[in-house]
Amino acid sequence: MAKEPVRVLVTGAAGQIGYALVPMIARGVMLGADQPVILHMLDIPPAAEALNGVKMELVDAAFPLLKGVVATTDVVEACTGVNIAIMVGGFPRKEGMERKDVMSKNVSIYKSQASALEKHAAANCKVLVVANPANTNALILKEFAPSIPQKNITCLTRLDHNRALGQVSERLNVQVSDVKNVIIWGNHSSTQYPDVSHATVKTPSGEKPVPALIADDAWLKGEFITTVQQRGAAIIKARKLSSALSAASSACDHIRDWVLGTPEGTWVSMGVYSDGSYNVPAGLIYSFPVTCCNGEWTIVQGLSIDDFSRKKLDLTAEELTEEKALAYSCLS
Ligand code: NAD
Ligand code: LMR
């Protein structure tokens, strides 16, 4: 029997990530090849005509799984009945800007959209915040939507996770699909800690630890980390626009694994509400290694954290604590 359609909201749908993301969702990349979808697309009035153009293209592409499109500048209409909300709407970072610079523009959007989601989305709606500062926007959304379960509000660090997989695969000249269990800890910012201490590569003679295969501590603790931390800025420098296809693809990965589950023995990175695991302060949206099963994520427990890693985990937590205070000062 055909499945009931799932309603997926994409905010900022007329923007460049939106343009890459909505066809992926309509093709089944996010929720599976047998899952019909109804797309809800929100943007602001100056982008209404462009948004309508995206809707026209979705019709023209004749996606078999796409059972309807709502394209609107009305946040209530956009949020009504949605099962999944991908929050991309906001103002992106331009060359030379740090994420803090985009804070004041974006957190107020997340405060107001929190109420619309809380009142009008379907019960148990899963929320993924992509717009920067992603962790802090997600935290503001959580705080101003108290009736949405805190486990349902997450932010995107899967792009950073995928970037780390990509760097390891290039360095070792192995397939990216053979690398697993990297970790992004903390903020989706230049203080994030990409960690390969527990990562492995599938080889003909079994799974091998990445640190043993690379055996270049200076690279692993230096260039590898800074490359992943600075990749967003490097893309902006090269494209004069921030990453879009990789962000859209990673957003699909995030939701697919959350809804359909992570493969046995594999974890992924998600920005989730901290419960104090690994001595990360509770009350932040912080990226952890998680496994997913039956639509629920669980933080992977018991990984060893050495002194080098401890400092990096703490540094990015400190930045998130500062961002939280700054966000509240922007809202007051
Ligand atoms: P963009 O400027 O191309 O698109 C953003 C869209 O949001 C625009 O169409 C704009 O009109 C719309 N918008 C603005 N305010 C809105 C509101 N209140 N409600 C609904 N829509 C609104 O930007 P983009 O390149 O698509 O990037 C979107 C966001 O994603 C940025 O904040 C960017 O920094 C962030 N980003 C995050 C990651 C990540 O890994 N977390 C990666 C790449 C980009
Ligand atoms: C990215 O990581 O590509 C985005 O968050 C864009 C940025 O501002 O770095």
Q: Rounded CA gap, 13 and 272, in Å?
A: 24
Q: Rounded CA gap, 171 and 173, in Å?
A: 6
CA of 72 to the centre of ligand 1 (A): 16
DSSP output for 8-61: EEEETTTSHHHHHHHHHHHHTTTT-TT--EEEEEE--GGGHHHHHHHHHHHHHH
CA of 17 to the centre of ligand 1 (A): 7
According to the model, what pLDDT value does residue 93 have?
Answer: 72
**Per-residue pLDDT for 329 more than 70?**
yes
Q: Whose CA is nearest to atom 9 of ligand 2?
A: 232
Q: What percent of the chain has pLDDT over 70?
A: 99
Q: Give pLDDT tens digits for 142-155.
A: 999 999 999 999 99
CA of 70 to the centre of ligand 1 (A): 19
Which residue among 52, 132, 137, 228 is best mutated to probe the pocket of ligand 1, counting the most ligand atoms within 8 A of its Cβ? 132
Instruction: Decide if 40 contacts 10 (C-beta within 8 A).
Output: yes
Burial 65-78 (b: 16+ CB within 10 A, else e): bbbebbbbbebeeb
Residues with Cβ within 8 Å of 75's Cβ and at least 6 positions away in sequence, in order, are 42, 112, 113, 116
According to the model, what pLDDT value does residue 322 have?
Answer: 95
Sign of the Cα torsion 92, 95, 100, 104 reads negative
Instruction: Decide if 179 contacts 169 (C-beta within 8 A).
Output: yes
Q: How many CA atoms lie within 13 A of 271 on its CB side?
A: 36
**Per-residue pLDDT for 79 more than 70?**
yes
What six digits make up the tokens of 241? 């626009």
Q: Give pLDDT tens digits for 222-259.
A: 999 999 999 999 999 999 999 999 999 999 999 999 99
**Per-residue pLDDT for 74 more than 70?**
yes
Q: Give pLDDT tens digits for 270-295.
A: 999 999 999 999 999 999 999 999 99
Nearest one of 57, 137, 49 to 93, comparing CA atoms: 137
According to the model, what pLDDT value does residue 152 have?
Answer: 98
Mean pLDDT on 111-132? 96
According to the model, what pLDDT value does residue 330 have?
Answer: 85
Nearest one of 3, 39, 2, 45 to 19, comparing CA atoms: 39
Q: Give pLDDT tens digits for 155-203.
A: 999 999 999 999 999 999 999 999 999 999 999 999 999 999 999 999 9
**Per-residue pLDDT for 66 more than 70?**
yes
Query: Please, where are the H alpha helices in the chain?
Result: 16-27, 48-61, 75-79, 99-120, 134-143, 158-172, 210-214, 217-221, 223-229, 231-239, 245-260, 307-331
| 15 among annotated binding-site residues | yes
| 12 among annotated binding-site residues | yes
Q: Whose CA is nearest to atom 2 of ligand 2?
A: 232
| 99 among annotated binding-site residues | yes
According to the model, what pLDDT value does residue 285 have?
Answer: 98
Q: Mean pLDDT, the chain, as a whole number?
A: 96
Which residue among 24, 42, 54, 88 is best mutated to probe the pocket of ligand 1, counting the most ligand atoms within 8 A of its Cβ? 88
- Please state whether the peptide bond connecting residue 133 to the residue before it is cis, i.e. omega within 30 degrees of 0: yes
Q: Whose CA is nearest to atom 8 of ligand 2?
A: 93
CA of 232 to the centre of ligand 2 (A): 4
According to the model, what pLDDT value does residue 99 have?
Answer: 61
Q: Whose CA is nearest to atom 1 of ligand 2?
A: 232
**Given the CA of residue 12, which atom of ligand 1 is nearest to it?**
7
Mean pLDDT on 23-47? 98
Q: List, chain by chain if needed, residues with CB within 6 Å of any ligand 1 atom.
A: 11-12, 14-18, 42-44, 47, 88-90, 92-93, 109, 130-132, 134, 156, 159, 188, 242-244, 247
Q: Rounded CA gap, 217 and 308, in Å?
A: 12
| 17 among annotated binding-site residues | yes
Mean pLDDT on 74-85? 98
Q: Give pLDDT tens digits for 84-121.
A: 999 999 987 777 776 667 788 788 899 999 999 999 99
Q: Rounded CA gap, 113 and 121, in Å?
A: 11
CA of 193 to the centre of ligand 1 (A): 24
Query: Which of the four pLDDT bands, split at 50, 70 and 90, describes residue 41?
Result: very high
10 Å CB burial of residue 207 (0-12, 13-18, 19+) is middle
**Given the CA of residue 235, which atom of ligand 2 is nearest to it?**
3
**Given the CA of residue 132, which atom of ligand 2 is nearest to it?**
5
